[in-house]
């Protein structure tokens, strides 16, 4: 306390100057309309700028929660799409919603690990068997196909990426609906693949969209895979191969949707019984 008093007494002239300065500014602003208006306008500008910066910082820090919320909402909307339902009765002309039963359900998950530069690439997501995810379920994102679940733990799941040597997806041309198979190319390009075994009478065009077909047991029909980037013949012209520019940038995946096809097991059993007969 003694040192504080010594400090104040030593610099009392400076402190008096500061006090008188504030008093003079206060009197000037409060008793002169022009200065008062200028002060209010300046203080409002400063305050507004501070609040704006604080809002930007707060918004940036909350982006994670916002993204989680949007991804969850997207999954809910996917579940409401008519493409997620199937018809279990015959109807003519008129379709009534009550005849639809849900075939596909969507589970939102966040990507926590990912690779794109190997021959066989995988992803890890933050949802597992506790959340209803099982081996064999397909995975998509907002841009298109992502891969297939290959194993799960209680809280995590591992996904075989489309960027994998064993990738084989029943696909079709969006415009003509001609069927083929999508494979990932041998050149290890994470942005390109190959549509093979398309009949040679088909006349595809460069830039045409390639989507999942209705022959797939795990993917709903119509999920984007990519676009035709070039054409080439195969096996003496009996089939067409088509280079495909992939719709998904796999290096930037953040959120995905795991799809449960409720008829997948039934379809697998029926097809397995048919193969035994063959």
- Say which CATH class 65-277 falls into: mainly beta
pLDDT class for 84, splitting at 50, 70, 90? very low
pLDDT at position 208, please? Answer: 93
pLDDT at position 24, please? Answer: 74
Using one digit for the tens of pLDDT, what is the confidence trace for 65-74? 556 656 565 6
| CA 28/CA 36 separation, integer angstroms | 8
Q: Can you say how many angstroms the Cα of residue 201 is from the centroid of all Cα atoms in its chain? A: 36
| CA 265/CA 133 separation, integer angstroms | 14
pLDDT at 192 over 60: yes
pTM: 0.63
Q: Which tokens hold the place of 91?
A: 């109807």
Residue in 156, 205, 159, 151 with CA at minimum distance from that of residue 178? 205
CA distances from 144 to 140, 206, 214, 218, 276 (A): 6, 19, 15, 14, 34
Using one digit for the tens of pLDDT, what is the confidence trace for 208-249? 999 999 888 788 889 999 999 987 755 546 778 889 999 999
pLDDT at 90 over 60: no
């Amino acid at each position: 306390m003694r040192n504080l008093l010594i400090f104040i007494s030593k610099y009392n002239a400076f402190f008096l100057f500061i006090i008188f300065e504030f008093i003079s500014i206060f009197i000037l602003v409060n008793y002169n309309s022009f200065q008062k208006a200028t002060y209010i306008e300046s203080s409002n500008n400063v305050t507004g700028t501070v609040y704006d910066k604080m809002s930007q910082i707060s918004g940036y820090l909350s982006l994670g929660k916002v993204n989680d919320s949007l991804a969850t909402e997207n999954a809910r909307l996917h579940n409401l799409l008519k493409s997620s339902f199937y018809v279990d009765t015959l109807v003519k002309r008129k379709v009534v919603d009550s005849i639809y039963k849900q075939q596909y359900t969507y589970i939102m998950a966040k990507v926590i690990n990912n690779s794109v530069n190997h021959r066989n690439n995988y992803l890890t997501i933050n949802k597992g068997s506790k959340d209803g995810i099982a081996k064999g379920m397909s995975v998509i994102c907002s841009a298109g196909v992502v891969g297939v679940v290959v194993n799960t733990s209680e809280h995590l799941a591992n996904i075989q990426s489309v960027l994998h040597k064993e990738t084989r997806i029943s696909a079709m041309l969006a415009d003509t609906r001609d069927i083929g198979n999508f494979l990932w190319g041998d050149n290890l390009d994470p942005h390109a693949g190959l549509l093979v075994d398309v009949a040679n009478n088909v006349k595809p065009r460069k830039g045409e969209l390639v989507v999942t077909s209705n022959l797939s047991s795990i993917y709903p029909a119509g999920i984007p895979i990519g676009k035709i980037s070039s054409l080439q013949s195969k096996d003496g012209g009996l089939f067409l191969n088509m280079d495909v520019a992939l719709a998904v940038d796999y290096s930037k995946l953040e959120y995905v949707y795991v799809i449960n096809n409720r008829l997948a097991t039934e379809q697998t059993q029926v097809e397995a019984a048919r193969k035994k007969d063959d």
